[in-house]
Amino acid sequence: MQPFIKHTGLVAPLDRVNVDTDQMVPKQFLKALTREGFGRILFYDWRYLPGEKPNPEFVLNFPRYKGASVLLARDNFGCGSSREHAPWGIKDYGFRVIIAPSYADIFYNNCFKNGILPAIVPAADVDELFRRAEKEEGYALSVDLPAQTISDSHGFSCKFEIAPSRKEFLLKGLDDIGMTLEHDAAIAAYEKAHAANAAVMHDALDVKYYSRPS
C-alpha cells in the first residue's frame, strides 16, 4: 500500500448527511471481478442523467471542482452496505482524503485498506470548511497526518482524530495480512487449543460447484 504522509489538494464539498455506499457505487456495478475502474461510476445516479449525460446540478460535475482530491462530507458518511467498491471508487476518482464529522464503521475501516485518510473533524470546523470551500473557487486544503492537522492558506487550521494504530498503518503503508501472518505460531496455537471449533457436518448437504452450460 502506498504510504500516506501529507497531501494538499482541491476540496469538493458534498453537503449531505448519511451518504450511503449504495449512492457511491450502485448495485449494477457490483458484478466486477477487479478493484479497478470504479471512479468513472462513483455517485452514478447523482452524477449522471439517464444516458450517462453528466448532471450539471451535481456538485462533482461543477467545473470548479474538477481534479478535487479532498472530499468534504457530512455526518455518518458511508453508511449502509459493506461494499468496498465504495472506497475503491473514491480512490479511483482521485480522492486521497475525506473530511467529515463521523463515518459509518465498515466504510471507515475499508478506507484504511485502500490508503484513503478518513479524517474525523469536529462538526463546527466542518461547517466552516463548507463555507470556505463554497465561497472560494480553487479552495485547497493541506492535510498533515503526522501532525493530525488540516489547514488552508488563509490561516484556518484544525486537528483531526485518528487512532494511533490506524495512523501508523497509513504512514507506513502497511500490509496487514502480512503482519497477521507474522503471528502464525500464535494462530496455530489458538487453533490447537480450540480444535472443538471444527465444523462437523452430520447430514450430507448438497455441495455443488456450478459450471456454465456450454
Partner 1 sequence: MPPKTLYEKIWDNHVVREIPGQPAILYIDRHLIHEGTSPQAFAGLKAEGRKVRRPDLTFAVMDHSVLTTDRSLPILDLDAAKQFDALATNCKESGVPLFDMHSKNQGIVHIIGPELGITQPGQTIVCGDSHTSTHGAFGALAFGIGTSEIEHVLATQCLVQSRSKTLHILVHGKRPKGVTAKDIILAIIGRMGISGGNGHVIEYGGEAIRALSMDGRMTVCNMTVEGGARAGMVAPDDTTFSYMEGRPFVPRGKEFQDAVARWKQLRSDDGAKFDSTMEFNAPDIAPQVTWGTNPGMVTSVNSRVPDPASFSDPNDQKAGESALKYMGLKPGTPIVDIPVDRVFIGSCTNSRLDDLRAAAQLVAGKHVSKTVKQALIVPGSRGIKAAAEKEGLDKIFTAAGFEWRDAGCSMCIGMNPDILLPHERSASTSNRNFEGRQGRDARTHLVSPVMAAAAAIAGHFVDVREFDVAHVE
Residues 177, 195: Cα–Cα separation, whole Å:
23
Residue 23 binds to partner 1 (criterion: CB under 8 A): yes
Our finding on whether 92 is near partner 1 (CB under 8 A) is: no
Question: Who's near 201: CB < 8 A, 6+ residues apart?
Answer: none
Number of residues that bind partner 1 (CB under 8 A): 67
Q: CB nearer to partner 1: give 27 or 131.
A: 27
Question: Under DSSP, is residue 169 helix (H, G, I), strand (E, B) or coil?
Answer: helix
* 213 scored as a contact of partner 1 (CB under 8 A): yes
Cell of 116: 484513503
Q: Give CA–CA dist 160/177, Å, rounded.
A: 27
The 57-86 site mask, x for binding partner 1 (CB under 8 A), equals: -----------------xxx--xxxxxx--
Report the residue number, 154 or 208, with the smaller CB distance to partner 1. Answer: 208
Q: Kindly write out the interface string for residues 103-122 of this chain, putting x where it contacts partner 1 by CB under 8 A and - elsewhere.
A: xxxx--xx--xx--------
C-beta separation of 67 from 94 below 8 A:
yes
What residue spans of 123-193 are helical by DSSP H? 123-135, 164-172, 176-181, 184-193
- Kindly state the greatest CA–CA separation across the chain: 70
Which residues would be at the binding site for partner 1 (CB under 8 A)? 15-18, 20, 22-23, 26-28, 30-35, 45, 50, 74-76, 79-84, 87, 102-106, 109-110, 113-114, 163-165, 176-177, 179-181, 183, 186-187, 190-191, 194, 197-203, 205-213
